[in-house]
Amino acid sequence: MRLRHGRGAVALAFAVVAGTGTAGTLGSTPTAQAAPLASPTSPTSLTSPTADAENPSVWPRPHSLRRTGTPATVTDEIALRTGPTADPYAVQALRTLLRQAGARRITTTGDPVPPGTLVVHAGTQTPDRDLPSGGYELTVDGDTVTLTGTGPDGLFHAVQTLRRLMRPDGTIAGAVVRDWPGTAVRGTTEGFYGEPWTREQRLAQLDFMGRTKQNRYLYAPGADLYRQARWREPYPAGQRAEFRELAERARRNHVTLGWAVAPGQAMCLSSDADVKALTRKIEAMWALGFRAFQLQFQDVSYSEWHCEADAERFGSGPKAAAQAHARVANAVARYLAHRHPDAAALTLMPTEYYQDGATEYRRELAGALDAGVQVAWTGVGVVPRTITGRELATAREVFRHPLVTVDNYPVNDYAQDRVFLGPYTGREPAVAAGSAALLANAMAQAEASRIPLFTAADFAWNPRSYRPQESWRAALADLAAGDERRAEALTALAGNGASSVLGGEESAYLRPLMEAFWREQTGTDGTAAGREQEATDGTAAGQKRPTTDDTANRQKRATTDDTAAEQTRNPAQDRLRAAFTVMRETPARLSGTPLALEVTPWTQQLARYGDAGLVALDMLEALRTGDPTAAWTAYRTLGELRERLGAARVTVGEGVLDPFLARAQRAYESWAGLDAEPDADRGGGGDGRTVRFPHTRTLATVTVLAAPGTQGTVEARVPGAGWRRVGALDASGATELTARLRADAVRVTGPAPGRVRHLVPWYADSPAAALELPGTADAEIGGTRLLTARLSALRPADVRDRLTVEAPKGIEVRVPGDALTLPRGASVEVPVEVTVPEGTPVRSYDIRLAFGEVSRTLTLRTFPRTAGPDLARTGTARSSADETPDFPASAANDGDPRTRWSSPVEDGAWWQVELARPVRLGRVVLHWQDAHPSAYRIQVSADGRRWRTAAVVRGGRGGREELRMDERDVAYVRVQGEKRATAYGYSLWSVEAYAVAD
């Protein structure tokens, strides 16, 4: 659909009896195929949920599975007895499975079996309420295995579960399983635009669908003209032969082949001759093995007919289009019912397949369509983030026909720089249970599609027990097929391609590794290299020692030890280095597989990120050990790698990988002083680079970064004495020279223009460190507020000093008491704990903090403590205006986190709530949607007419914003917008209001 928006034999015999009525129960545990694929200590450890050697995993997840204590053993000889109703494809699959497990001889006679033989019963029974069609019961218990399926597919499904119970040593896990499909029709659509799948890819897909208990494959490639503009023409002979082969493979895997035709752009819908031509084409496809059909009108106009007769008969507009579409659909459905009574119900993909609610087109179509026709939809939206049971029920009420959910995930033809490899999410179980069919639209990358399609199959089979992450890990294990190195590479590939419109966290396995690395590297989220040790606590203005774990942990971020540079390498670095190494090796680890060919652009980009990540770690390690040559070399290499990464046309690890590299670069730039490098004159008079100061300064050090091998001299200009030599450039390209003199300029002479990349003077007459505070902060009276002071080293060496505090009487402030060491280039967060005793007046207090020569003032605003319930929840909401009736003012205080109020596009829009009774208001909490204000006020009123301002916000950032106040006699609370931060209006998920505690 085009998207607009080795096994060992054992000594005993193994007998199989295939009959018709032996019922049993079987439950199972996880399978060896999805056993742990990587060491638990590996940075990309991939373990299938609950899978181990004794407990193999079963996927899709069964509805009922119970472990028994006695496994079965696959033996040399097997006696196989088949009854007249046993499905031949299921029996053949069973025979193949047993041979693969170690059986050497399979007999089908009814002769007695030798003592100790393991007996397998396989049969079918009629579906009933307790076990619907497609269900099965399977028991493995000691010397007996029983498989009983219901309907035409049940026995085949039981065999697939038995496959999952097989162990590498030739035994079968003891289990009892009772299972059935949660969705009657489950499968895959090949409906993307672009190069269609190959014959080999389709055949492999059908085998995969059989293993995962899917039963519908819809053929609908966007580039196949023989089902669109050239639908009247027969397929070429070669393609017809491929379809026959596809049909046979589908039958073997209990998959129904479906064919979609989109004739709307080349058909006279009122013409009986054209309708007859369409049914002839459908008959030809039936002869090739297709047994389900979909008629598509999703990309046609309401008014552009392809013959005058259509305009004369139907007119124009949505209602006319619905009548025309229903006419053709009804004719085809009646033809199939007459000619092929056993055909699956016809599906119609209407023009309005993703809209919400009732429309003229939908109402007319619902009334005109024959009852047996099913209607396809994609949810509300072409690629909806979520599909709810309520939305499905609404659409079913509108169309008044069974709904086929054609879900546009993981299809990627609308975002061809991505492969969507995350699990199937955002669909409520009611969508699976309430859909006549649930089909997931695949990507052009067939093999890669198996990862999300595996999870979609798991959801469709048992939606209420579906666990996306467990299913996703099992999908990766299934595709890795027991190869540990391949499993790690698949985790890297899929983990860095897991996000999509459906949600999902990109690079989720890498994020904690990176966070741990930066914590160990800097103890902060700043951009520095260096490590900190735990600081001891001192006192200022009546301090007490911190008592919270949070404070203790945060105080580890500053160092009091001069031996920081001698510490061992960051342990988190080793874990992150291992992860980057897997990324770099992913193309090689996946080579030789069908997957490797179709995802080459993404694995190559992932490998480039792996290379860049390793270079970044080398650079940061060089900073830690004080190796400027290695650091400068790595920095230049990292810049070149990022340029190549930026030029690539595919996306992996978005929002995670490149920000890590950028942060590493900033760490070097801070260390080398590049973030404060002054403007320079390039060339001229033989100079490689010159920096002139606004006034005479006392120099301490000069850093020069040049191309390796550059020769030249660093000079400083002393007022009244001219240029003086400071030193020569180092051949490595990284030069750092001590310069104890007063000067008004520095330069590099000798090299050709452009070879000197950076010239950084460091001054002895400027502060050694910077101190940043939040500026203002709110604190409850009688409570403690944890704040952060950021210290940044501004010298080309470690900086050591104490953080001191001057606080007003009665305000208690705690900071680390011992001297802190800031490693060169480091930015370190230091905890500041402020306690406001009971009885402190409500007002603002200035707190002065100093580190060395620099000091800053924090304004602390104190407010009374709040308590009690959310008062807005029981109030009456109003607004200046609502964007639409779907986003009313009441949605912001209804207690439902899924609803919201939205305003029209007006800066002055407001939302207010009338409280149940007047209160002394102490706190308001706002939860903004993306559309939020950059400036707004909280106003309060006793009568709803005369308003006063309780809080003012400038520079609003959206999300959760908490505002403190102390306002008496408040019966009304208003959020008054002043300036929008986006092109939209304002949108609030919720507003909370709390009273001052008694």
Q: Read off the pLDDT of residues 127-173 as tens digits, 9 standing for 90 and up.
A: 887 899 999 999 998 888 999 999 999 999 999 999 999 998 889 99
Instruction: Provide the domain count of the chain.
Output: 4
Q: Does residue 989 share a domain with residue 961?
A: yes
The mean pLDDT of 31-56, rounded to a whole number, is 38
Domain-located, residue 861: no
**208 and 310 in a common domain:** yes
| Shared domain check, 194 and 166 | no
**What b-and-e string marks burial along 149-188, b requiring 16 or more CB atoms within 10 Å of the CB?**
bbbbbbbbbbbbbbbbbbbeebbbbbbbbbbbbbbbbbbb
Same domain, 238 and 142: no
Of residues 144 and 262, the one with the higher pLDDT is 262
Same domain? 363 vs 449: yes
Tell whether 662 is covered by a domain: no
Residues marked as catalytic: 299
- 621 residue type, one letter: E
Asked whether residue 538 carries a pLDDT value surpassing 60, the answer given is no
Give the least confident one: 117-131, 143-157, 523-537.
Answer: 523-537
Domain boundary among 145, 179, 213: 179
Query: Which pairing describes strands 854-863 and 820-822: parallel, antiparallel, or unpaired?
Result: unpaired
Task: Concatenate the DSSP letters of all residues of 530-553 into one string.
Answer: ----PPPB--BSS-----SHHHHH
Select the more confidently predicted residue: 348 or 9: 348
More confident residue, 7 or 968: 968
Domain end point (choices 717, 732, 763)? 763
Rounded Cα distance, 142 and 94, in Å = 19
What's the pLDDT band for 532 if we cut at 50, 70, 90? Answer: very low
pLDDT of residue 510: 97
pLDDT the model gives residue 120: 84
Strand 171-172 and strand 72-73: the pairing is antiparallel
Q: pLDDT for 439-477, tens place per residue?
A: 999 999 999 999 999 999 999 999 999 999 999 999 999
Indicate whether 216 pLDDT > 90. yes
Q: Is residue 159 part of a domain?
A: yes
- Number of CB atoms found within 10 A of residue 649's CB: 8
| Same domain for 174 and 214 | no
CATH at residue 966: 2.60.120.260
| For residues 931-935, average pLDDT | 97
Q: What is the pLDDT of residue 212?
A: 98
Element (H, E) at 522: helix 511-522
Query: For the chain, what percent of residues have pLDDT higher than 90?
Result: 80
CA pair distance 173, 838, nearest whole angstrom: 66
- Tell me: the pLDDT tens digits for 189-204? 999 999 999 999 999 9
**C-alpha distance from residue 943 to each of 523, 890, 914, 946, 972 (Å):** 51, 20, 9, 7, 7
Residue 282, domain CATH = 3.20.20.80
What confidence tens digit (pLDDT) does each residue in 636-689 have? 999 999 999 999 999 999 999 999 999 999 999 999 999 999 998 865 445 689
601 pLDDT above the threshold of 80: yes
**Smallest Cα–Cα separation from 976: which of 932, 912, 920?**
912
Taking all residues of the chain, what is their mean pLDDT, rounded to a whole number?
A: 89
Residue 54 has pLDDT above 60, yes or no: no
Specify the pLDDT at position 55: 52
CA-to-CA distance for 582 and 50, rounded, in angstroms? Answer: 25
Q: How confident is the model at residue 568 (pLDDT cuts 50, 70, 90)?
A: low
- Which residue has 């290499």 as its token pair? 637
Q: How confident is the model at residue 15 (pLDDT cuts 50, 70, 90)?
A: very low
Q: Is the pLDDT of residue 208 over 90?
A: yes
Residues 378-400 have pLDDT tens digits of 999 999 999 999 999 999 999 99
**pLDDT confidence of residue 686:** 52
Alpha-carbon distance of 58 to 50, in angstroms, equals 10
CA–CA gap between residue 156 and residue 148 (Å, rounded): 10
Q: What is the pLDDT of residues 223-243, one digit of tens each?
A: 999 999 999 999 999 999 999
Helix then strand then coil, in percent of the chain rounded to 5, is 30, 30, 40
Position 42 pLDDT exceeds 70: no
Are residues 303 and 229 part of one domain? yes
Same domain for 194 and 135: no
Which distant-in-sequence residues (6+ apart) come within 8 Å of 202 by Cβ?
190, 242, 246, 446
pLDDT the model gives residue 882: 96
* Span of 116-120, 235-239, 368-372, 496-500 with lowest mean pLDDT: 116-120
Contact 938, 879 (CB under 8 A): no
Residue 322 within any structural domain of the chain = yes
Residue 493 lies in a domain: no
Sign of CA dihedral 949, 954, 959, 961: negative
Identify whether 658 is part of a domain. no
**Distance set, CA 862 to CA 279, 520, 848, 961, 992 (Å):** 79, 35, 16, 17, 20
Same domain, 140 and 237: no
pLDDT confidence tier of residue 615, bands split at 50, 70 and 90: very high
Within this chain, do residues 202 and 147 fall inside the same structural domain, yes or no?
Answer: no
Asked if the structure places residue 795 within a domain, the reply is no
- For the segment 522-544, the average pLDDT, to the nearest whole number, is 37
Region 23-35: mean pLDDT is: 28
Q: What is the pLDDT at residue 24?
A: 31
Flag whether 158 is in a domain: yes
Size (the chain), residues: 998
Backbone angles phi, psi at 767, to 5 degrees: -55, 145
User: Do 319 and 445 have their domain in common?
Assistant: yes
The residue among 404, 432, 466 that closes a domain is 466
542 vs 735 pLDDT, higher one:
735
Structural domain harbouring 18: 14-27+62-179
Q: What is the CATH number of the domain that holds 158?
A: 3.30.379.10
> Could you give the count of Cα atoms lying within 13 Å of 275 in the half-sphere of its Cβ?
18
pLDDT at 533: 31
Contact in structure between 195 and 224 (CB atoms under 8 Å): no
Q: Are residues 302 and 403 part of one domain?
A: yes
Instruction: Specify whether the CB–CB gap between 201 and 232 falls below 8 A.
Output: no
